[in-house]
Amino acid sequence: MRTIEVLAIQRISAADRAQIEAVDPAVRLTDAGGWFDGEIRATWPAQAAARYLAPDAAGSGSRAERDALLAQAEVILGGWPFPLDLRSRAPRLRWFHQRPAGASNLRLGDLWGSDVAVTTSRGSGNTLAMAEYAIAGILHFAKGLDRAAIDRDAGGFDHRAWRPLLIAGKTMCVIGAGGIGRDVGRLGAALGMRVLGTRRQVAAGAPLPEGFAQMGGPEALDGFLAESDFVVVCCQWTDETTGLINTARLAAMPAGVVLVNVARGEIVDEAALAAALARGHLRGVVLDVYVGEFAHTPPDILWRDPRVLITPHVSGASDRNQHGAIAMFCRNLRAYLDGAPLENEIDWDRGY
């Protein structure tokens, strides 16, 4: 029986380990979680290291020992951040699975575009928590709760400035109706909203996801935006979606729209967003992401605007972890052993 060397380079729990090893007796799992922390601290921006590493994390073993672990690995289970030169140091590597959902996380390293099969946990993340965050952002501005901080700082209430909306009967556009987007649409519909959604590909005659009134491909986006009171960005960041929300699309949205982004900052043109805010076109903006978030703080022009809420990529956090990355990895590990296709394998040309 051939042994499959599996290397975990992100920390896993005892339960995770047991689940992986139960897939097949041929699996030999090496847990190197935390071993590469020192390398990550040295090669990634300080803000990324501060966010994702413990303050005293310096890694384990020598460079030679870490290289030896990578050199024997056929399968690697990783996360983010990760060693940027992973492919060049793992000559036997045939498959890498990253626990996060976003394929764009891997753009910086030498795995991107390589000959290694790379899969993600797309659709198995804490999608419900992210959907609740998006709805909370919509409600924050729809109900005018942003006024509370303004009035508090002013020391008195400006009653006439409060313009709460009834969201029942309003229209919401979900850009990217995948795992996160479907949950956003379902919750929005439960609150009485008419939900429109886009996907990269829409199969003819396919049933609509729960809560959606219409589903269209990329060509439907401009028309959907023109009808929408609320817009939620949930799509993958690819070459096609870079700057997707630009000057023209912001102008196509009705005045007073609320925009929420729980995907990647690069999907929204921040200069165009600032200009739309400057001319008073937007009621509010909720950003759980922004351009270059792992390297620097948000741009001041957005961060200091009271109509903009910016959070540090926490929309998926909650008191209940419903992330299914390990279960997906185990399903794929079984498929890998059986020579079957892998779920969520990145198409380098498509970008996810």
Upper half-sphere CA count for residue 273 (Cβ side, 13 Å): 27
Q: State the virtual CA torsion across 149, 151, 152, 154 in degrees, nearest 10.
A: 120
Whether the CB-CB separation of 317 and 329 falls below 8 Å is answered with: no
Retrieve residue 92's tokens: 């036997």
281, 313, 331, 343: the active-site residue: 313
Could you confirm whether 313 is annotated as catalytic?
yes
Nearest to 48 by CA among 7, 109, 101: 109
66, 199, 249, 264: the active-site residue: 264
Could you confirm whether 264 is annotated as catalytic?
yes
5, 39, 270, 293: the active-site residue: 293
Full 3-state SS string of the chain:
CCCEEEEECCCCCHHHHHHHHCCCCCEEEEECCCCCHHHHHHHCCHHHHHHHCCCCCCCCCCHHHHHHHHHHCCEEEECCCCCCCHHHHCCCCCEEEECCCCHHHHCCCCCCCCCCEEECCCCCCCHHHHHHHHHHHHHHHHCCCHHHHHHHHHCCCCHHHCCCCCCCCCEEEEECCCHHHHHHHHHHHHCCCEEEEECCCCCCCCCCCCCEEEEECHHHHHHHHHHCCEEEECCCCCCCCCCCECHHHHHHCCCCEEEEECCCHHHECHHHHHHHHHCCCEEEEEECCCCCCCCCCCCHHHHCCCCEEECCCCCCCCCCCCCCHHHHHHHHHHHHHHCCCCCCECCCCCCC
For helices 14-21 and 325-338, angle between their N-to-C axes, nearest 10 degrees: 20
Q: Which residues are catalytic?
A: 264, 293, 313
